[in-house]
Structure 1
Amino acid sequence: MGRLFWKFFLCILLAQVAATIGIGGAFWLRDRARSQAIELDHGPPAWIALDAAAATLKHGGVLALRGLLGDMQRPQVFVQDSQGRELLGRPVPPELQAELTRQLTSGEPRRGIRQLAGPDGERYTAFVRRQFRGAPLAGAGGAAAHQHRSGEAPPGPGPGRRVGQVAGIVAATLASLLFAALLAWYFSRPIRALRSAFEAASRGDLAPRFASPGRAGDELSDLGRDFDRMSARLAALMDGQRRLLHDVSHELRSPLARLQAAVGLAHQQPERIGSSLDRIERESMRMDKLVGELLTLSRLEASATLARREQLDLTELADQIAADARYEAGPEAPRIRVEAPGPIVVQGDPDLLWSALENVVRNAIRHGGNGSVRIVLQLDAQWAHLDVLDCGPGIAAADLASIFRPFFRSNPNKVDGHGLGLAIAQQVLAAHGGSIGASNREGGGLQVRLSLPLTD
């Protein structure tokens, strides 16, 4: 057991012990106050006992009354003669005697006191002492009467009662220990499991550890599942980084090999140095473009917030990109049309949205065959949709979910492009709170839909 377990255990145990002492002390003080309280009893049982004493004195005399008082333990009836002597010789507590004298001399209504008349005309005063549970009885006959007459203290609780009290305290202590241990184990076990999971993660082991479906949904279980989600996300990021590093290395190897070949050719054939320099220039520009796209993709993946956000018209943006594509492609390029219901205003970064839409349009021109490319803009309640449709061969159904992955190319034999355009477009749309998807058209070709939330 670790230190955290013992901290939980001691805190819970101390709280239980303090509560036990407080509650037990309160009950002990209450019982002690009750056992020490001395007052007259004027309830129904007391009046019944006083009536019985009056009838016994009237019909049986003083001897019969003494026998009745000796046999009666609860309620406990005291009878004093005119001289203030108790018939059985029992001592009357001073507080009780003072209350008796006060009522007899004050003239107020008597409560718990009754005047009795004997057959010989002698006057007696009878009263009942209120007896609380647990308080010792005043001696009346036998050993108890002897103790009171001789001045001895009433007997305390017997051995059996003391053993029962000790057994109760021991049982309560053991129950507190068991309960505290169970609670401490319950709270510290998932924390120890989290600690071991963190240690394993520091060694590179990101396997899920808290994904058991049968566990209760308490906060500690939720914390474990959150850790599993975090470790799964870290594992995905690490796998993506390794895959990206592999793809970058592969993509850089080809232009570097061509650069080295062009340099070697220039050394071997000085008369062809012009063509070698042209090749070197093309490959260096290709590498520069690749590095620029990688930096853009890395920046978008690292930060989900936009540094620049302003209102822009998607229809105007699509018209400008289409015009640039027509100019660069020349007269033999596919026909590019923009179909829009009018201005569509969204909020975002103009440069990033330009880059995303341009990548999608250029991809459609490059792989869309000799047919036309249509850019169709639509609106619904909360979204603006921009569809780029081409007339090419489309994409295999198994590859539709992979075309937005960096360096993915549906036709690896073609060397034009690096497979980063659609990946950059996906990150741009995600940063704007939108989405991008692709599907094959029924009549042939590919449809790529870019969706952006409308400006409020």
Structure 2
Amino acid sequence: MGGLYWRVFGLFWMAMVTVMVASVWITSRVVERDHEMLPSAHQRALAEDIAASAARMIGSHAMPEVRRWLRTQSGGPIHVRIRPLDGATTPRVLAPPPMPGYAAQREATASDGRRFLVDVRWVRPPHPPRPPFRAFWLSFVLLGLLVSTAVALLLARYVALPLKQIRASARHFADGDLGARVGTLRMGRSQEMVALGREFDLMAARIERLIQDHRRLIGDVAHELRSPLARMGVALELSRGETETDEREASAARIARELG
């Protein structure tokens, strides 16, 4: 029964660990994808907002004020430049970024009629940092292993213990204890296990009744044989003491009647 217990435990444990690892892997992939996508959407929206604000500033303010405002917006990963579209010479605020990023462009017309192109770019690092989820997932996996082990042990015990109880009852019955019964299962009282225990008890009761009937029959037969044999023994003893031929013949005839 110990082998069955550990086989059941191993099957339950492997199934739960497989499901848990698959769930963790899928969840981690979804989280990493969201981590990569959410900043991208935020950076695109911010670049569009800066480009739109710059276009409005160009249309309503003088270029020195526009350049001062752009300097407050530029820096770090944000690169902003203004390029003339009609041949005018306008110094760019920052050089175009050498790395790919999230860009937004807007055309703007100044108060004097000149047209400009506002180029805003949020530089994307070549290797964006991954979320610090590794320690969290490791803790989650370890906790899941502990929980799955405990649950697998309980499930294996739930399945193996009723079989152990039924096996013990069968062994006692085979050793001659005709009154051995499974009775009420202590654990794992599923419908199938209860039905198996009930069928064993019915079988044991029938076999016990058959054996008792057999013993009763043998006792009755022995009782029926005992009375004529006793009379025959008495007749033989009497015949040994008889000397006359007629008496011996009468005793022999009486014995023949008893036998016949």
TM-score by length of 1: 0.43
Residue type at the aligned position of 2:203: M
Distance 2:146 2:185 in 1: 35
Q: Tell me if 1:14 matches 2:19.
A: no
Structure 2 match to 1:179: 151
Q: Give the total of aligned pairs.
A: 239
> CA separation in 1, counterparts of 2:143 and 2:220?
70
Does the aligned pair in 2 maintain the 1:115–1:123 contact within 8 Å? yes
Q: What is the CA distance between 1:62 and its match in structure 2? A: 4.8
Q: Which has the higher contact order (CA 8 A, sep 6+)?
A: 2
Counterpart amino acid of 2:199?
D
- Structure 2-normalised TM-score? 0.69
- Residues 79 and 126 of structure 1 are in contact (CA less than 8 Å); yes or no, is this contact kept in structure 2? yes
Distance 1:86 1:276 in 2: 148
The answer to whether 1:115 aligns with 2:124 is no
Alignment partner of 1:193 is 2:165: yes
Once residues 166 and 93 of structure 2 are traced to their aligned partners in structure 1, the CA distance between those partners, rounded to angstroms, is 78
SS in 1 for 2:160: helix
- Deviation string 1:24-81 (CA, Å, 9 cap, x unpaired) is 333344455565679x86x9x967973564135423735435645779xxxx987565
Secondary structure of 1:232's counterpart equals helix
Match of 1:166 among 138, 141, 144: 138
Work out the CA distance in 1 between the residues paired with 2:210 and 2:71.
100
2:176 aligned residue? 204
Measure, in 1, the Cα distance between the counterparts of 2:185 and 2:166: 17
Match of residue 53 from structure 2: 55
Measure, in 2, the Cα distance between the counterparts of 1:230 and 1:206.
11
1:303-360 deviation per Cα after TM superposition (whole angstroms, max 9, x unaligned): xxxxxxxxxxxxxxxxxxxxxxxxxxxxxxxxxxxxxxxxxxxxxxxxxxxxxxxxxx
Q: Distance in 1 between matches of 2:154 and 2:79?
A: 57
What SS is found at the alignment partner of 1:124? strand
RMSD: 4.2
Partner residue in 1 for 2:88 = none
In structure 2, distance between residues paired with 1:62 and 1:210: 92
Q: Percent identity?
A: 28
Amino acid aligned to 2:69:
A
SS in 2 for 1:237: helix
> Out of 253, 261, 265, which is 2:226 matched to?
253
Task: Report the CA distance shift for 1:26/1:162 in structure 2 as closer, same or farther (over 3 A).
Answer: closer
Code of the residue aligned with 1:64 in structure 2: it is W
- Letter of the 1:6 partner, please give it: W
Q: Work out whether residues 9 and 184 of structure 1, in 8 Å CA contact, stay in contact via their aligned partners in 2.
A: yes
Cα deviation for residue 245 of structure 1 reads 1.8
2:240 aligned with 1:240, yes or no? no
Q: What are structure 2's unaligned runs of at least 5 residues?
A: 85-91
Looking at structure 1, the residues matched to 68 and 258 of structure 2 have their Cα atoms a distance apart, in angstroms, of: 135
> Counterpart in 2 of 1:64?
69
Over residues 105-157 of structure 1, what are the superposed CA-to-partner deviations in whole Å (9 max), with x where a residue is unaligned? xxxxxxxx6523274732024578xxxxxxxxx67xxxxxxxx5xx8x54444
Q: Report what 1:271 is aligned to.
A: 246
Q: Are the equivalent residues in 1 in contact too, given 2:51–2:105 (CA < 8 A)?
A: no
- Pick the structure with more helix per residue: 2
Does residue 124 (structure 1) correspond to residue 118 (structure 2)? The answer is: yes
